[in-house]
Amino acid sequence: MKGGLRSRAFLAALLLGSPLAAQEDSDLPLLLNLPTADHLADWDIGLRFTHRFQEQAKGNSRDFYGLDNGAYTGLGLDFGIKAIPGLNAQVFRTSDRKTLTLALQEQVIAREQWRVAVRVERFDETVKGGQVGTTVQVPVDWQPWAPLTFTLVPTYLSRSATAESVVTAGVGTHWAFTESQGLIGEYYPRPSKVDAAFERGWALGYQYRTHGHRFSILATNQLGTTANQVLGGDYQGFGPRPSGAWALGFNVIRIF
C-alpha cells in the first residue's frame, strides 16, 4: 500500500513538474507581436492564443473601453524539433483576414548576451483578394544586463497591400522586474515604400509567467498579429490607427 502511494505521488510530481521544467529549458519566441531569438527545446510544444479588441478604448466606460465589441482572435502551435537543435516550426491561424502562417525558425547564435535566429514564414490571407507571400526575419536579442533585453527584427516582406518587396525592422524591449513579471514595448516603423499617410505602430504590455504559462495584457494601435499585418505598414490598405486611438488585447501562451 505504501509503495503504491509512493508510486502515485512520484507520478503526480513528475506530471506537475514537467511544465515548469519546459519553461526553464525553453521558451516560445514571442514578445507581443514580434518574434524573438528564443526557441522551444527538445520536442516541447507551445500553444499561443491571441486576442485583439476591434473597438478603440475610449475615454468613458459606457462601452467598457472597447471590450463590449468584437475582436480578432488567433490560435497557433509551435513545435521544438529535437533532431536539429534550435529549430522550431509554427502554424498559426487568425480570424483577422483569415490569415494562415506557416513558419520555420532556427536559432543560429546563442551567447551570454546575444541570441540570433533566422525565420522564414509563408502567409496566406485566405479571404478573396487577400495577400499571399513570404516573410524573412532575423530576430536579434541583446541582453546588456539580466533584467533587460532589447530585440531588433530586420524583416523582408515579399508583398504588402500597397507595395512589393518591403524591407523594414521592428524594435522591442522586455524588462523583467521580477522573476515572474515584466513590461514589454514594441515599435513598428512605417516602411519607406509605404505612403507617409499611414501611421506608425506600437504596443505596450504587462506580462506574468507561472508554471509553463505566459499571460500578456497589452494596449496597441495595431489590430494585426502576424508579421505582414504588423510590419507591412499598410495592413488592409489603411494601416494602424492613429497613436491615440489604441485598443486593448491579450496573449495566452502555454508550453508543454
- Residue by residue, DSSP assigns 162-184 as S-EEEEEEEEEEEE-SSSSEEEE
Q: pLDDT (tens digit, 9 = 90+) per residue, 61-118? A: 667 777 888 899 999 999 999 999 999 999 999 998 899 999 999 999 999 999 999 9
Domain residues for the domain of 62 are 2-255
Average pLDDT for 120-125: 97
For residue 234, the model assigns a pLDDT of: 84
Q: Which three cell numbers, joined as nine digits, stand for 182?
A: 515584466
For residue 59, the model assigns a pLDDT of: 66
For residue 61, the model assigns a pLDDT of: 65
| β partners of residue 92 | 76, 101
pLDDT band at 3 (very low <50, low <70, confident <90, very high): very low
H/E run at residue 5: helix 2-25
| Residue 134 belongs to domain with CATH number | 2.40.160.40
For residue 245, the model assigns a pLDDT of: 87
The pTM (predicted TM-score) of the whole model is: 0.87
| Burial tier of 56 (Cβ tally within 10 Å: 0-12, 13-18, 19+) | middle
For residue 38, the model assigns a pLDDT of: 97
For residue 23, the model assigns a pLDDT of: 36
**From the CB of residue 58, how many other CB atoms can be counted at a distance below 10 Å?**
13
Question: Helix-strand-coil percent breakdown of the chain, rounded to 5?
Answer: 15, 50, 35
Instruction: Please give the mean pLDDT across all residues of the chain.
Output: 88
Give 246's contacts (C-beta < 8 A, 6+ positions apart): 56, 57, 219, 220, 221
- Is the CB of residue 36 less than 8 Å from the CB of residue 231? no
Average pLDDT for 174-187: 97
pLDDT band at 15 (very low <50, low <70, confident <90, very high): very low
Work out how many domains the chain is built from and give that number.
Answer: 1
Angstrom distances, CA of residue 73 to CA of 58, 158, 161: 21, 25, 21
